[in-house]
Amino acid sequence: MPNLEHPAYPAATLLHLESLVPCRESQVSMLLSIFGERQQFSFPSIFIYGHTSSGKTYVMQTLLNTLQLPHVFVNCVEYFTSRLLLEEILMQLQSCCSEREQTSHVHCDTFNDFVRLFKQAVVSRELEDQTLYIVLDRAEQLREMEANILPAFLRLQELTDRNVTVVLLSEIVWELFRPSIGCFEPFTLYFPDYSIGHLQKILSQNHPPEYSADFYAAYINILLGVFYMVCRDLKELQHLAALNFSKYCEPVVRGEANERDTRKLWKNIEPHLKKAMHTVYLREISSRAGENEKNVYNSDLKFGCSEKVLGLSAHTHVELPYYSKFLLIAAYLASYNPVRTDKRFFLKHHGKIRKTNFMKKHEKTSNHLLGPKPFPLDRLLAILYSIVDNRVAPTANIFSQITSLVTLQLLSMVGHNDQLDGPRYKCTVSLDFIRAIAR
């Protein structure tokens, strides 16, 4: 029974649309009712927001393509200046409804020019009788451009006096967009996250043809049961499903179990999934193996002999030369120990340090929580000389090693480059790293 009904569009198209956008029927029907019929003016600007992978871009594109509404789709990250953005909209408009490939370069600097050229383009493409949709994806980038871009887009219908609707897609709520000088409030539409039932339905849709839908649905059920607690992102779950499916099918392929033997299949896949939990959001191994059908057998081998395929997290060890290790350790000590304790730790004959009132008050916060503090170069060298056992000659090599540590982002330079007097550094690595090195 079709959920989407609209008098303006043929029922067959709507049925097809519904099959393409499962679990988003209510949002699509809301959009359809706002759009109305082709020639009717719609709301000047619509703001759609929702979490990552909640289907905003996909639904918009599918809707506009299936119903064949004239539209322009632009990603604001790609066209990072206003000039690029406006020119791209105009160029897409030129090729929107015509079959001609050749698009001449349009020169458009300001929004004023844009409005004028837009009106000309609409007339030349004979789009006056239909609503034109301009969809701006990743609209949060609009805030970084000139201040007039966002308010102008929201009022584009009024400025151009044409039948146009601007749709903004973003992950951020509207309150953070609202410019301080005020603007035309768009219609906000929220795409809620998929629930577990929705995820099950969507993921079960793309099952590989050689296995039955039930088999795959059972697999998705298991997968969701394990991963839903930590990950609700549809894209990530799709990736995980593709990656682990071959392992799940192993018993069936080897002939040890048939498709209904849930217990055996679960036993086989459970340790593997447990291991995969550790690296959920980290793309350790390329998923090319999962997507390409021919490589399914090869990926079997890869997962079988797990010591061969090492993900990224297996390579954490950084090899440093001898003095560099000491430099890094000295930098860590300099960053995290307050200056007054230096005398105590590093000299042979130290006096006692008397606690003053000031120190008693501020003792609570641990230095580890506050982060590294900057230290001058001389202090680093002093600590270095005291922790290295044998004598270290102050050669240029030591100094150049400090610079290469900065290049590797293990140390960071604080303050201006102009400060010839004494460069100050800060240590940017964690205690675990230092412990691993100090071994």
Query: In the complex, what is the shortest distance from the CB of residue 313 to other proteins, in angstroms, rounded to a whole number?
Result: 6
**How many residues of this chain interact with other proteins, rule: CB under 8 A?**
56
Q: Which stretch binds other proteins (CB under 8 A): 32-40, 162-170, 258-266, 318-326?
A: 318-326
Q: Which stretch binds other proteins (CB under 8 A): 38-46, 122-130, 162-170, 375-383?
A: 375-383
Rank residues 77 and 359 by Cβ distance to other proteins and give the closer one. 77
Interacting residue with other proteins among 129, 366, 393, 417 (CB under 8 A):
393
Interacting residue with other proteins among 263, 294, 308, 315 (CB under 8 A):
315
Tokens of 168: 């903004």
Give the residue among 317, 342, 347 at the shortest CA–CA distance from 330. 342
Q: Per-residue b/e over 18-47, b at no fewer than 16 CB within 10 Å? A: beebebbeebbbebbeebeeeeeebebbbb
Tokens of 207: 């099952």
Residues 322-361 that bind other proteins (CB under 8 A): 322-324
The number of CA neighbours under 13 Å toward the Cβ of 287 is 15
Interacting residue with other proteins among 8, 15, 282, 339 (CB under 8 A):
282
Q: Is 405 helix (H, G, I), strand (E, B) or coil?
A: helix
Query: In the complex, what is the shortest distance from the CB of residue 41 to other proteins, in angstroms, rounded to a whole number?
Result: 31
Interacting residue with other proteins among 229, 305, 369, 396 (CB under 8 A):
396
| N- to C-terminal Cα separation, the chain | 67
From CA 91, how far away is CA 94, in angstroms rounded? 5
Using the rule CB under 8 A, is 278 a contact of other proteins?
no
Residues 132-171 that bind other proteins (CB under 8 A): none
Query: In the complex, what is the shortest distance from the CB of residue 396 to other proteins, in angstroms, rounded to a whole number?
Result: 4
CA 236 to chain centre: 11
Contacts of 201 (CB under 8 A, 6+ apart): 22, 23
Q: Which stretch binds other proteins (CB under 8 A): 7-15, 184-192, 231-239, 251-259?
A: 231-239
Contacts of 315 (CB under 8 A, 6+ apart): none
Residues 238-267 that bind other proteins (CB under 8 A): 239
Interacting residue with other proteins among 16, 422, 435, 438 (CB under 8 A):
422
From residue 59, give the alpha-carbon distance in Å to each of 15, 25, 311. Answer: 15, 10, 34
Q: List residues near other proteins by CB under 8 A.
A: 52, 75, 77-81, 84, 87-88, 91, 105, 235-236, 239, 281-283, 285-288, 310, 312-313, 315-324, 376-378, 393-401, 404, 407-410, 420-423
